[in-house]
Amino acid sequence: MSKIPYDFTNQNTTLVHICCSVDSHHFLTQLQEKYPNKNFCGFFYNPNIHPFEEYQMRLFDVKRSCAQLKIPLIEGEYNLAEWLEGSKGLENAPEKGKRCSYCFDFRLERSAQVALESHCVEFTTTLLASPMKSQEELFAQGETIANKHHLAFLSIDVRSNGGTQLQNKLARDTNLYRQNYCGCLYALEAQRKKSQKRPLELLSVLNLPKETRNLPALRLKNFQTRTQLEQTQKPYQIIKRKVQHYRILSGLLKVGDCTIPSFICNYSMLNKPIKAKVEFWQQGIGYANKEGILLLEFNAFKDLLKTQDFNTLLCEGLSDTIQLNLRYQLYPNGFFTSPIVIVNQRINQTFTLEIAYIMQEEVLEDFIPTSNQ
């Protein structure tokens, strides 16, 4: 980590390790209420969070929360490789088991070090607010680490007497990002397996732009709308949408033994590899004789695709909006799921097309501007 940006000498400051905004907003509010003579500084340190886009999403929301509460924030290192190395052998440990204990120690140890470096008098953690964590274990581990560094650990119970219900209400009222898994890839995979779903958070695809290639990246883009509305002081409501997500796992277009560079559009569905041939070309569209497959000549559609060259298309992808609009332009009488494959040059020979994909329902947040009336 670079030099700590704060020095709290003689300021009676408590360093607060922050895991997420839902826990921290309630936790910090309670600290300010119960300890009006103390000062607080947040420390976001969570190299356990995976993927990096999810880390960015949670940090983005914590920054907003701390700004609202007028609490300074230090961002720690994202040293994921080090965290993963220490978690070897604990991949299958259950929630609240040995892996969680390791993760607590990993983050609290660094928090104690930062507390010393910034001359805080004590430290604590918003993990204490999470109903998914063992409060007693955190109290004990916090005290042990604090004693090791000749610090104090602030043990506070913000869950009892309706605290958890208050936390949930505060999260709703302040439109916080409410993540649906603890943070590490092991917990995510276990949770998704239990619900019989794939962890789409861990899957990035090349046929979408970088800012929407996986679920956390897409969420971060959506939550930036919240920021824009708040900055312009426009009222809004947050709603949840159930969305069927298409994710291509692999795709291959071949002529004989030769692989043809191609861009396979979203919602292209094939149950098995297909050998087909273009029956005719018309206005840049090649109509194949099987599965309704369409081959599109790039130059004929580059204006609609808003992409100037084929290599850029392959490297940067296309927004889901453009891909859906393309489907509608090609067939406006229903949701068209035959494969759409964009190629740089026409293909007239017999070709083989393979597409592996998944369709999965996900819930995404959306922000709707509302009237002042």
To the question of pTM greater than 0.75 for the whole model, the response is yes
Residue 73 to residue 369: CA distance in whole angstroms: 29
pLDDT in tens, 244-295: 999 999 999 999 999 999 999 999 999 999 999 999 999 999 999 999 999 9
pLDDT for 263: 98
Residue 133 binned pLDDT confidence (cut-offs 50, 70, 90): confident
Residue 335 binned pLDDT confidence (cut-offs 50, 70, 90): very high
pLDDT for 259: 97
- Residue 125 in contact with residue 142, Cβ under 8 Å? yes
pLDDT for 131: 84
Token readout for 178 is 């409410």
**Torsions phi, psi for 268 (to 5 deg):** -85, 120
Is residue 19 marked as binding? yes
C-alpha atoms less than 13 angstroms from C-alpha of 183 in its C-beta half-sphere? 27
Residue 47 to residue 76: CA distance in whole angstroms: 9
pLDDT in tens, 289-333: 999 999 999 999 999 999 999 999 999 999 999 999 999 999 999
Residue 3 binned pLDDT confidence (cut-offs 50, 70, 90): confident
Burial class (CB in 10 A: 0-12, 13-18, 19+), 103: buried
Is residue 20 marked as binding? yes
pLDDT for 198: 93
In total, the chain counts a number of residues equal to 373
Residue 372 binned pLDDT confidence (cut-offs 50, 70, 90): low
- Displacement of CA 309 from its chain's centroid (Å): 30
Domains of the chain, first to last: 13-198 (3.40.50.620), 244-369 (no CATH)
pLDDT in tens, 22-57: 999 999 999 999 999 999 999 999 999 999 999 999
CA–CA–CA angle 109, 110, 113 (5° rounding): 95
Residue 249 to residue 306: CA distance in whole angstroms: 24
pLDDT for 134: 85
| Mean per-residue pLDDT of the chain | 95
**Mean pLDDT in residue range 124-152:** 93
pLDDT for 2: 58
- Residue 222 in contact with residue 365, Cβ under 8 Å? yes
Assess whether the previous peptide bond of 51 is cis (omega < 30° from 0): yes
Q: Return the amino acid letter for 354.
A: E
pLDDT in tens, 212-247: 999 999 999 999 999 999 999 999 999 999 999 999
Residue 1 binned pLDDT confidence (cut-offs 50, 70, 90): low
Is residue 100 marked as binding? yes
